[in-house]
Amino acid sequence: MIHKILIANRGEIAVRVIRACRDLHIKSVAVYTEPDYECLHVKVADEAYRIGTDAIRGYLDGKRIVEIAKACGADAIHPGYGFLSENYEFAKECEEAGIIFIGPKSDVIRKMGNKNIARYLMKKNGIPIVPGTEKLNHCALEEIKLQALKIGYPVILKASGGGGGRGIRVVHKEEDLERSFEACKREALSFFKNDEVFMEKYVINPRHIEFQILADNYGNIIHLCERDCSIQRRHQKIIEIAPCPSISEKLRKTIGVTAVAAAKAVGYTNVGTVEFLLDDYNRFYFMEMNTRIQVEHPITEEITGIDLITRQIRIANGEILDLEQSDIKPRGFAIEARITAENVWKNFIPSPGKITEYFPALGPSVRVDSHLYKDYTVPPYYDSLLAKLIVKGSSYDSAVNRLERALKEFVIDDIRTTVPFLIAITKIREFRRGYFDTSFIETHMEELLEKTEDRHQENKEEVIAAIAAALQKIKESRQS
């Protein structure tokens, strides 16, 4: 039985896990580095231990975290998302120390964490994948060029161990291939300590659809429907919707069955996400599997009524899944907007600082997952996510209306945030209709900025003109 859980993370997700622990009457343990001493997860946990002075290094020190877990008597470790959540070596350290890792087995994380291995396993088990190559690091440049010609431009270079939008380069013409390949390798080595890179056909303007998986330790696997994550900027998700407002029930069932088959093919356990690209002809391709809880998990909770964090803990505790696929009947639509500390007018650069006012949105069918409070100082060292605003409606239209209302009520001062930009998204016709793809932000950027009402921005017209010119240059370079 699990009696105490150490949360190997920080911020919003750490607070979310601590709340789940309280719901289950399980003791919670927070860890923090020196700059995070005032973070909310440290304040609300039953126990808290410092893991170093460096802002980042402590959260990546798996050995130290396992030592603290053993010393404080924690039975299990929840990794959250990011940091060590998909590090198979950390999961293995937990297993070897006799500590329950709340997630899949380390070998599954290893296999699915390497995109080349994952592609091989999916292809072997009849799961559709995007045409592509194995790792290219051993290939000469001329051979890589031939591979690109065989696949057909545009192509996308990806880090084998990548994720979170890192280690990705889209190449539209041969003369950019060498530079992009080297840049992709450098970024992959820097972020993932693995410079393996492979190539795929770049699916132009797809929809990004992901299925939530729930699996116990005894072979029972179901999906909890899909999320549409197409509203993104530079491969980083901004708004997510559950279920997808633009696919048919028949297609939903087909992709759902495929997602479960993918999970069964690798012996998956606990909570995970199978991600697909969906093209204009409703052909879908396996993209990757995230072997952890996702940032956007709350919208699945809202439409299914299933608490995914408590389910993670219960499955890790050895419970048999008491749900069948026929039990999953989504109700209504839920939308999540990621509110970040970024200056939209300066190419979304981070905007850390002290929060002098904080009034999160309230009201019917509105939820906020956050680690913020008044007078908290947002540090400059971490991801810029401040809060997740989640709304629910009986229809997609009512959910969008509620999102707009809630965003307008949301107050975070005295730092720059993306709230005004998110409000602008709710005003775009295509978003309101539910018909969009991953090119939405880039396609509508000028219109979005014109609709962004930001009292902090004085030279709005000049900035919009400069951004429009830059976007036009990018389009011209792709066409040349």
Q: Cite the active site residues.
A: 292
Helix, strand, coil shares of the chain, percent, nearest 5, are 40, 25, 35
CA torsion 174→176→178→180, rounded to 10°? -130
Helical (H) or strand (E) element with 100: strand 100-101
Residue 179 CA, chain-centre distance (Å), reads 28
Per-residue DSSP letter, 198? E
Instruction: Please answer whether residues 103 and 79 qualify as being in contact, where contact means their C-beta atoms are separated by less than 8 angstroms.
Output: yes
Question: Among all chains, which residue has been given the structure tokens 């708004």?
Answer: 239
Q: What's the chain's Rg over C-alpha atoms?
A: 22
Instruction: Please answer whether residues 6 and 31 qualify as being in contact, where contact means their C-beta atoms are separated by less than 8 angstroms.
Output: yes
Amino acid type, 59? Y
CA dihedral (144, 288, 241, 366) positive or negative: negative
Question: Among all chains, which residue has been given the structure tokens 């950019």?
Answer: 176
Please give the angle made by the CA atoms of 62, 65 and 69, to the nearest 5 degrees: 135
Count other Cβ atoms within 10 Å, centred on residue 261: 15
Exposure string (b/e) for 226-244, b if CB count within 10 Å is 16 or more? bbbbbbbbebebbbbbbbb
Beta-sheet pairing, 366-370 with 385-393: antiparallel
Tell me the C-alpha distance between 380 and 343, whole Å: 13
Tell me the C-alpha distance between 57 and 180, whole Å: 29
Per-residue DSSP letter, 132? B
Amino acid type, 384? S
Structure-token pair, residue 69: 């877990």
Beta-sheet pairing, 385-393 with 357-359: unpaired
Tell me the C-alpha distance between 215 and 319, whole Å: 11
